[in-house]
Chain A
């Protein structure tokens, strides 16, 4: 870089900093003003800027130019990523002051959309999380496109599923079902099952996994939990069968006993001699966890 260009750059940076400082000094509280000046200054060390970002939150909601300078840091790919992440956290904190932040919201959302495909994975993921909490259509579109075609993915599939779970109307169920059938990794399958937990038509998927002893215990537990939410009667039926099946995992038996004890129909359980006999046996000859849940059930139903 030539000397002249360096000088022009330096003078432009100085002018920007001076203008920011002037803008901040007009309205924001003194501590917030100072913090913002440090946070947005390229001359300061990364550590000092990150530390100042936390105190700059108040300045953002007070003054539009302060907001714009913070948004500029967040958008600028040349800024150190730690500073950009700190700017995002500071803006996010400011957004909690709903009334005061109203004048900033439009620009803030537009900036988040602009940086959702940033090269930095962590920033991308955080921004997508913030947008999806507001059920943002742009973020949703990109996440679904990424699940349909992994080359376009902004985040790993498990994260995309987790974020799409914020909006049950996102048309992610069909993709989740696909992932359950043919998962790219174990975590993605777990997240897909969690997402399907709100889909009332996914009952057969959960019934199949719950009764399949070859499935991982975690998936089977998620399936039991999902069935409790979407078809509690069906879960009670399967829970009974799992308790009666001596070859079932003790972990799942304990979960089934809890489901029966807490949510089962009292008359049906009291009148189920086979079940009560089996639970009676479990009280003495199983793991501590199973013993405890069996005792609880028997106490509740007066045995």
Chain B
């Protein structure tokens, strides 16, 4: 998988070592050419242009891009970036630029809740911002502010923002966090929205509507639900992506990645993320945006509770992997998880990659960048993996709804995510069944291989038994058929396990063993081929048991009190 989650193509032509001033010139040139695509591609957090820059520098750079997009018109595939800032941003400059950029797109009722969310995020931290030059900071009292920009955008939306009107009116109350100086802007927004108010269908108020914008459970991304107007443009949002079975990239490259969990227990990706579907979020403990990492881990705890309520706690694993493995030592992970009521045990862990974040960054296409060892910018992102550790669904940029994430995991578990080109996901069989199947299958292969070919051979075997005082057994040719059926059944379960774990080597070995035994039975090979055949079957069966081993090798539970 190269970059499963990227929405826009990478622009390798840009020199990542550009100075900030050179970068501003480049952005201005794109704006002059009305090249919205190039500007949008620069908004990806993982773009090399953001590597080794301070967070403040990235704020200046992204703000300038959003302002350039405000000039040329915000294209549909860039709307998600503006909404992301409104949803989770906490830097005044970026939020103000996003609000301004949104006004250059087509007005939509769905923007209103995001704008209200941003007003909530910026209350008590409103600041003067300057848009007249790259990297400028406001030093005069007459500058605009994020809340002013948000109110202007709400005014621009007018009656389309009818759903948030009651909440907007509440902001007029003293102590609501909106400056007295902005009351005139607030009144203008209230007047504009209330003029010919349009209530959304099916109710007066939408509350926290953004979630309704996202893919409904079971609806693949980009496929609008019939009769749901809100989803006509959702295809461009890109916050929820789903990969059908046959289109999932394999996880071979990350299987060897070694982690250390919150207790310091080492475990590999292949061990933890295979055998069962998993939900995995990314975070780091030094993230200073309360709307991002802290909330993500707290929401993961709510996901765990929902899994438990639906009886799926033992069937779906959860994990949160830190972007900052150098600093987030096990003790820090443990404290962070405890502080957010996260259940932490063998199937639910906080992890740090001991070999670095790079392989994971490539596999998941993580929306993150770094200055030295520290994260300088990242998006909100959570993934649902199938039993082979492959990405089945991702939720990124906007706040995800816990129910949708649990539904996505349940869908993988229920095996109800058939894809147009692939087979359904096959859940891994329970550990006890795997062991029993291996033993029986191997014994069956042995039985078939050694089964006497004729009644005379049978008598020879029986006389040997008689010599050892075992009661004679009458000749029963149907036993051979039964043993052959058992051997075939074993082969089928090995194939099943191989399919679930994504490792088919075991099946190939067992199949080769079966072919050798059958060939020997029909006389194509000598009797001496029997033992290699049985050994191949045994090796194949053991290989598949080993590949699904973590399901039975979880260390003791270290649950947080109360869970």
Partner of A102, one of B124, B128, B329: B124
- Is A121 interfacial (CB 8 A cutoff)? no
B121-145 vs A, CB cutoff 8 Å, 1 = contact: the mask equals 0011111100000010111110101
Interface status of A13 (Cβ within 8 A of chain B): no
> What residue in chain B is nearest A140 (Cβ atoms)?
B56
- Nearest-CB distance from B54 to chain A (Å)? 3
Q: Are A137 and B59 in contact (CB under 8 A)?
A: yes
Is B371 in the interface zone, CB < 8 Å from A? yes
Given contacts A105-B126, A106-B127, contact A99 B177 (CB under 8 A): yes
Comparing B178-186, B223-231, B528-536, the segment that makes contact with chain A is B178-186
Residue of A with least CB distance to B138:
A110
A200 touches B141 (CB 8 A): no
B55 adjacent to chain A (CB < 8 Å): yes
Chain A CB within 8 A of B327 CB: yes
* Chain A residues closer than 8 Å to B178, beta-carbon distance: 102
Tell me whether A170 and B55 are in contact in the complex, defined as CB-CB below 8 angstroms, given that A137-B60, A199-B372 are known contacts.
Answer: yes
Measured CA separation A98–B175 after assembly (Å): 9
Flag if A106 contacts B374 (CB, 8 Å).
no
In the complex, the answer to whether B326 meets A99 with C-beta atoms within 8 Å is no
Query: Which chain B residues in 30-72 approach chain A with CB under 8 Å?
Result: 52-57, 59-60
Q: Is there an interface contact between B326 and A106, defined as CB atoms closer than 8 Å?
A: no
Q: Are A198 and B288 in contact (CB under 8 A)?
A: no
Q: Give the contact-size bracket for chain B.
A: 35 or more
Q: How near does chain A come to B377, taking the closest CB pair, in angstroms?
A: 9
Residues in A whose Cβ lies below 8 Å from that of B52: 171
Question: Is A113 on the interface with B (CB-CB < 8 A)?
Answer: yes
Decide yes or no whether B211 CB sits under 8 A from chain A. Answer: no
* A200 CA / B288 CA spacing, docked (Å): 17
CA distance A294 to B123 in the complex (A): 54
Partner pick for A106 among B56, B126, B373, B376, CB 8 A cutoff: B126
For A137, list chain B residues within 8 Å (CB): 56, 59-60, 93, 137
Interface check A174, CB cutoff 8 A: yes
User: Given the known A-B contacts A137-B60, A138-B137, are A109 and B128 also in contact in the complex, defined by CB atoms under 8 Å?
Assistant: yes
Cβ of B286 within 8 Å of any chain A Cβ, yes or no, is: yes
The answer to the question of A81 belonging to the interface, with a C-beta cut-off of 8 Å to chain B, is no
Judge whether B138 and A199 touch: CB under 8 Å.
Answer: no
- A167 to chain B: which residues have CB within 8 Å? 55-56
Q: How far is the CB of A17 from chain B (nearest CB, A)?
A: 21
> Is A232 an interface position by the 8 A CB rule?
yes
CB of B381 closer than 8 Å to a CB of A = no
Identify the closest chain A residue to B331 (Cβ): A232
> From residue B376, how far is it (CB to closest CB) to chain A in Å?
6
**B278-325: which have CB < 8 Å to A?**
286, 288, 324
A201 — which chain B residues lie within 8 A by C-beta? 326, 372-373
A102 touches B373 (CB 8 A): no
**Bound Cα distance from A141 to B180, whole angstroms:** 31
Chain A 93-114 interface mask (CB, 8 Å, partner B; 1/0): 0000011001101110111011
Interface residue from B56, B286, B375 paired with A141 (Cβ < 8 Å): B56
A206 close to B (CB within 8 Å): no
Per a CB cutoff under 8 Å, which of A135, A140, A200 touches B373?
A: A200
By a CB distance below 8 angstroms, the chain B residues around A250 are: none
Residue-wise, chain A 120-142 has the 8 Å CB interface mask toward B (1 for contact) of 00000000000000011110110
**Once the chains bind, are A170 and B56 in contact (CB under 8 Å)?**
yes
Nearest to B127 among chain A residues (CB) is: A109
A113 and B135 alpha carbons, distance in the complex (Å): 14
CB-contacts of A219-241 with B (<8 A): 230, 232
B467 shortest CB reach to chain A, Å = 58
- Cross-interface CB contact of A171 among B125, B326, B371, B375, cutoff 8 Å: B371
Asked if A150 lies at the interface with its beta carbon under 8 angstroms from chain B, I say no
Q: Considering only CB atoms and an 8 Å cut-off, how many residues of chain A contact the other chain? A: 36
Q: How far is the CA of A170 from the CA of B372 in the complex (A)?
A: 11
Is the beta-carbon distance between A110 and B374 smaller than 8 angstroms? Answer: no
CA distance A99 to B178 in the complex (A): 9
Query: Once bound together, how far apart are the Cα atoms of A230 and B371, in whole Å?
Result: 17
Contacts of B56 in A (CB 8 A): 135, 137, 140-141, 167, 169-170
Q: A106-B141, A168-B374, A171-B371 are in contact. Are A198 and B127 (CB under 8 A)?
A: no
Q: Are B327 and A169 neighbours in the complex by a CB distance under 8 Å? A: no
- In the complex, how many angstroms separate the beta carbon of B373 from the nearest chain A beta carbon? 4
* CA distance in complex: A111, B137 (Å): 11
In the bound complex, how far is the Cα of B288 from the Cα of A144, in angstroms?
20
Tell me if B59 and A103 are in contact (CB < 8 A). no
0 or 1 for each of A285-300: is its CB under 8 Å from B? (1 = yes): 0000000000000000
Inter-subunit contact B374/A199 (CB<8 Å): yes
Inter-subunit contact B127/A105 (CB<8 Å): yes
Q: Does A64 contact B (CB under 8 A)?
A: yes
Cβ-closest chain A residue relative to B58: A169
Encoded as 1 (CB less than 8 Å from any A CB) or 0, chain B from 252 to 281 comes to: 000000000000000000000000000000
Instruction: For the complex, give the distance between the alpha carbons of A114 and B130 in Å.
Output: 13
Contacts of A172 in B (CB 8 A): 54
In the complex the two chains form, is A106's CB within 8 Å of B145's CB?
Answer: yes
The interface bits of chain B over 437-460 (1 if a CB of A lies within 8 angstroms of the residue's CB, else 0) are: 000000000000000000000000
Interchain CB contact (< 8 A) of A169 among B141, B175, B326, B374: B374
173-220 of chain B: CB within 8 A of chain A: 175, 177-181
* Complex alpha-carbon distance, A98 and B288, angstroms: 19
User: Please, how many angstroms separate the alpha-carbon atoms of A135 and B135 in the complex?
Assistant: 15
Rounded to whole angstroms, the CA-CA distance of A191 and B496 in the bound complex is 61
- Bound state CA distance, A113 and B143, in angstroms? 13
Interface pair A169/B180, CB less than 8 Å apart:
no
Question: What distance in Å separates the Cβ of B235 from its nearest Cβ neighbour in chain A?
Answer: 34
Chain B residues whose CB sits within 8 angstroms of the CB of A99 once the complex forms: 124, 175, 177
Contacts of A114 in B (CB 8 A): 139-140
B141 contacts A171, CB within 8 Å? Answer: no
Q: With A and B bound together, what is the CA distance between A138 and B139 in angstroms?
A: 10
The answer for the CA separation of A68 and B128 in the assembled complex, in Å, is: 15
Q: Which residue of B lies closest to A171 (CB)?
A: B54
Q: How far is the CB of A61 from chain B (nearest CB, A)?
A: 11
Q: Are A200 and B327 in contact (CB under 8 A)?
A: yes
Name the interface residues of B144-169: CB closer than 8 Å to any CB of A.
Answer: 145
* Bound-complex Cα distance A200 to B373 (A): 7
How distant is the Cα of A113 from the Cα of B327 in the complex, in angstroms? 33
Q: Contacts of B135 on A, CB cut-off 8 Å? A: 141
- Given A106-B141, A169-B55, is A230 in contact with B326 using a C-beta cutoff of 8 Å? yes
Shortest Cβ-Cβ A-B pairs, 7 listed: A200-B326, A171-B54, A138-B137, A169-B55, A137-B56, A114-B139, A103-B179
24 CB contacts below 8 A, A to B, read A64-B181, A102-B123, A102-B124, A102-B179, A103-B179, A103-B180, A107-B141, A109-B128, A110-B139, A110-B141, A111-B139, A136-B137, A137-B93, A144-B54, A167-B55, A167-B56, A169-B375, A171-B54, A171-B372, A172-B54, A198-B286, A199-B373, A200-B327, A201-B373
Known: A141-B137, A169-B55. 13 other contacts (CB 8 A): A68-B141, A102-B178, A103-B179, A106-B128, A106-B179, A113-B138, A114-B139, A135-B56, A136-B137, A141-B56, A169-B288, A173-B371, A200-B327
